[in-house]
Amino acid sequence: MSRKASSTTAKGPLLERMVGWSARHPKKVIVGWILLVAVAVLLGDAAGSGAKTTDAGEAGRAQSMIREQKVTSSYTENVLIEAPGRDKPFLGSAELESTAKDLSDRIKALPGATTEIVTPLDNEQTRAVLVSEDGKSGLVSFTIPGPGAEADKHFAKIRTEVEAVQAAHPDARVAMAGDISLTSAVDKAADEDLAQAELLSLPVTLIILVVVFGALIAAAVPLFLAATAVLAGLGVLGLVGTVIPANSTVSSVVLLIGMAVGVDYSLFYLRREREERAAGKDAAEALRISARTSGHAVVVSGITVVLSLAGLFLAQIDTFNGMAIGTIIVVSLAVLGSVTVLPAMLSLLGRRVDALRLPFLGRSRTTATTSRGWSAIAGGVTRHPVVFGGIALIALVALALPAFGMKLSEPGQLDSLPRSIPAVDAGVRLQQAFPGGADPAQVVVWGAGATTGAADQAVEELRRQAATSDLLGDQISANPVGDVLSIKVPLAGGGTDDTSVEALRTLREDVLPQAFANTPGLEYAVGGRTAGLHDFATVLETRTIWVIGFVLVLSFIVLVIAFRAPLVAAVSMVLNLLAIGAAIGIVVLGFQNGNFAGLLGFSSFGGVVNWLPLFMFVILFGLSMDYHVFILSRVRERWARGESAKDAVVHGVGSSAGVVTSAAVVMIAVFAIFATLSGIEYKMLGVGMAVAILIDATIVRGVLLPASLSLLGDRAWALRGRPAPLAEPEPTTENPIEPGEDVKVLSPVGATEEGTR
């Protein structure tokens, strides 16, 4: 390298200095990164239990009041007893009644396992409550005392007795569903899903990268970066999660996004580094130019993703806070690794990065060549932009139309998982036999005398009104929890459907105000699953516009700064919105309408997971900028050297096709893995993200973007006219640079830098 180039490395922009230092001290950087990952994992494991998420709105107030009591919780379990074909009445059937008695006797014989157990055989009152309306199902209900660890031990013993009862009474169906059984099933499924995603994502990604690079060592580099970024991200999340609540879904999202962006950023950087080496640069010079071009594009993309995710904090909902912090952590780590660890590994490996080549795979997809196929497509589009652009636009709008009929909801524990899980099947059967029993509303009452009789009259009035209502169940229980009173009120419906929401509205707006009209000094709030989901949707509806506005404004500013071209920024944003809208429309068709049920193995609950559309919007708006920044920077380089706007588009799309296609295939494969998991929210997320990336990398990249830029012409890039043409052609093997030639290299933001080779 010449003295002038070395000076630039030492005194140039921060990014180039970071890359240069990493390349000169590769062992220190790699060891430091491994230590960082190890410390993050250890701290995450040692952090203990995380902060608990709190529901939004009134449901959150009720939840907080219960938590403030710091009273040991108890857990309700139910055992459904019926004939396997539900063809016999419970009462009068010697087999079913003896099954209930046997179960009751066995559970009572377990010391300390329950504090209360009731059966349909106890008395007239329990018979009225614990026999289904059609008379064919009976319910044995009991309470398991806490705390959680003790309750789990009691539950294990009770489950053994339930299994023994089933074995002793084969002519009866014995199915248990309740607080612990369903929660355990959900937690187990979530752990198994995460383990399956981890198990599949690494080999699938490696196989794709081997095909992309044609060499095992080159394929292992981005996989190492992505996997270590995910491990460190999960570790940091475990530590941060003690302060900012993050539910189990966040870990899966961190894995999903971390693998995708980690590989993406590596591919962009490796592509440019290979181009420079193919053009005759030495390793240090190739890394320096890659840092100024693709490295800068990676940083811009990462900043855009992080800023987009930061918009989720404006929703002020714990679910989004956890997802935002988790994905911000892993994206930031992926960016940091791509500008430090990746250059260090490339510097250390040198030409050996192409070792262990697999000759039968042909040339690498990241070599400095232009894609004839994508160049031909872009050329056809630029010659007829109105025709091809119009067809693509109509197609995306048609796909997006179902999104306007989207119904936001949250799958209950019974909707999220398949019925092949015994606890879920039991819960579904219990819900069918005893509607309204699975998700009761919890009315939390506090104030002077709340637990010493001041609320008794209100509770009796509540029971009286519930007895005459079709929306409220009359099996109302009232129990003190510390200094507050907890009243459980069954709601009609399935817990998340319109009937349950109407029942909640009746309880909040009509029944409770009348019941507590003559109880001065008492306050109350309605919580529970149905209330929590309803309040989440209400808060989300009022704040979504602020999140979307924040993301759009900041993304526009970042793109304008990156390209100094407001029209290009505006076009990119519109195209992103079209791709995201089409993806959400497909999610509505496939999941809300149930068209993918047979293919993916789920039962539609008639809606879309309430957090999914906004999260998809935010993360996809950031991720899609990866491709836009990379492609547009190539187009602008060509245009700035004097090519016509249409030629610049064709050459820019063609020269970036290999790496963009490869990165998109990796992303789509990782996202598609999530469509195979058991939770319906994971299936929706995987399908939605995979479809969006597919649309972005094909229809948007190949048709709409070239059509838009060709229609805009020079106006797309010029604020004050075309800058002076640059002397340096794009560094590819097709257009080599002569040694010793003075050149100007254009960075992605349009600035030039002198350099001599």
Q: Look at residue 196 in the predicted model and tell me its pLDDT.
A: 77
Contacts 24+ apart (CB under 8 A), 20-26: 20/284, 20/287, 20/288, 20/291, 22/339, 22/340, 22/341, 22/343, 22/344, 22/347, 23/283, 23/284, 23/287, 23/343, 23/344, 23/346, 23/347, 24/347, 25/344, 26/343, 26/344, 26/345, 26/347, 26/348
Structure tokens at 622: 């950031």
Query: Is 334 or 215 the better-scoring residue by pLDDT?
Result: 334
For residue 167, pLDDT beyond 90: yes
744 band by pLDDT with thresholds 50, 70 and 90: very low
Distance of CA 383 to CAs 375, 711, 713, Å? 12, 10, 12
For residue 28, pLDDT beyond 50: yes
| pTM of the predicted model as reported, rounded to 2 decimal places | 0.76
> How does DSSP assign 352-366, residue by residue?
GGG-SB-GGG-S-TT
* Arithmetic mean of pLDDT, 543-552: 89
Q: Look at residue 707 in the predicted model and tell me its pLDDT.
A: 92
Query: Is 362 or 124 the better-scoring residue by pLDDT?
Result: 124
Q: Look at residue 384 in the predicted model and tell me its pLDDT.
A: 92
Q: Look at residue 591 in the predicted model and tell me its pLDDT.
A: 92
Q: Look at residue 359 in the predicted model and tell me its pLDDT.
A: 67
The rounded mean pLDDT for the chain is 81
748 band by pLDDT with thresholds 50, 70 and 90: very low
Query: Rounded to the nearest 10 degrees, how much is the dihedral formed by the CA atoms of 284, 286, 289, 292?
Result: -80
**Helix H or strand E segment including 144:** strand 137-145
719 band by pLDDT with thresholds 50, 70 and 90: low
Catalogue all structural domains in the chain, each as residue range(s) with its CATH number: 69-184 (3.30.70.1130), 440-527 (3.30.70.600)
- Asked if 248 contacts 190 with a C-beta cutoff of 8 angstroms, the reply is yes
Distance CA 616, CA 21 (A): 37
Distance CA 65, CA 700 (A): 50
Query: Is 291 or 368 the better-scoring residue by pLDDT?
Result: 291
Structure tokens at 47: 């952090």
356 band by pLDDT with thresholds 50, 70 and 90: confident
* Arithmetic mean of pLDDT, 503-507: 91
Give the pLDDT confidence of 259-278 residue by residue, as tens digits.
888 888 888 777 777 777 77
Distance CA 650, CA 381 (A): 9
Structure tokens at 538: 């209400």
Q: Look at residue 361 in the predicted model and tell me its pLDDT.
A: 57
* Arithmetic mean of pLDDT, 575-579: 90
- Asked if 414 contacts 185 with a C-beta cutoff of 8 angstroms, the reply is no
Structure tokens at 630: 């990379």
Structure tokens at 210: 């081997």
Percent of the chain, pLDDT > 90? 18
| DSSP summary character for residue 135 | S
Q: Look at residue 373 in the predicted model and tell me its pLDDT.
A: 81
- Asked if 220 contacts 256 with a C-beta cutoff of 8 angstroms, the reply is no
Backbone φ and ψ of 111, nearest 5°: -65, 125
Distance CA 364, CA 177 (A): 54
388 band by pLDDT with thresholds 50, 70 and 90: very high
* Arithmetic mean of pLDDT, 183-199: 77
Q: Look at residue 726 in the predicted model and tell me its pLDDT.
A: 40
What length does the chain have? 757
Distance CA 263, CA 518 (A): 64
pLDDT-wise least confident of 36-40, 195-199, 216-220, 513-517:
195-199
Give the pLDDT confidence of 229-258 residue by residue, as tens digits.
999 999 998 888 888 877 777 887 888 888
For residue 32, pLDDT beyond 90: yes
| 33: Cα within 13 Å, side-chain hemisphere | 27
* Maximum alpha-carbon separation in the chain: 100
* Arithmetic mean of pLDDT, 311-337: 89
Pairing relationship of beta strands 608-609 and 408-409 according to DSSP bridges: parallel
- Asked if 449 contacts 521 with a C-beta cutoff of 8 angstroms, the reply is yes
Distance CA 499, CA 384 (A): 53
| DSSP summary character for residue 491 | B
Radius of gyration, CA atoms only, the chain? 31
Closest CA to 487 of 529, 447, 459, 449: 459
For residue 5, pLDDT beyond 70: no
Q: Specify which residues 485 forms β-bridges with.
A: 445, 480
Query: Is 436 or 146 the better-scoring residue by pLDDT?
Result: 146
| 624: Cα within 13 Å, side-chain hemisphere | 34
Query: Is 541 or 731 the better-scoring residue by pLDDT?
Result: 541
Give the pLDDT confidence of 641-679 residue by residue, as tens digits.
888 878 888 888 887 777 788 888 888 888 888 888 888
Tally Cβ neighbours within 10 Å of residue 244: 18
Give the pLDDT confidence of 594-633 residue by residue, as tens digits.
899 888 888 888 888 888 898 888 888 877 776 777 788 7
For residue 536, pLDDT beyond 90: no
Q: Specify which residues 177 forms β-bridges with.
A: 78
- Asked if 611 contacts 250 with a C-beta cutoff of 8 angstroms, the reply is no
Alpha helices in 606-753 (DSSP H): 612-640, 645-674, 680-695, 705-712
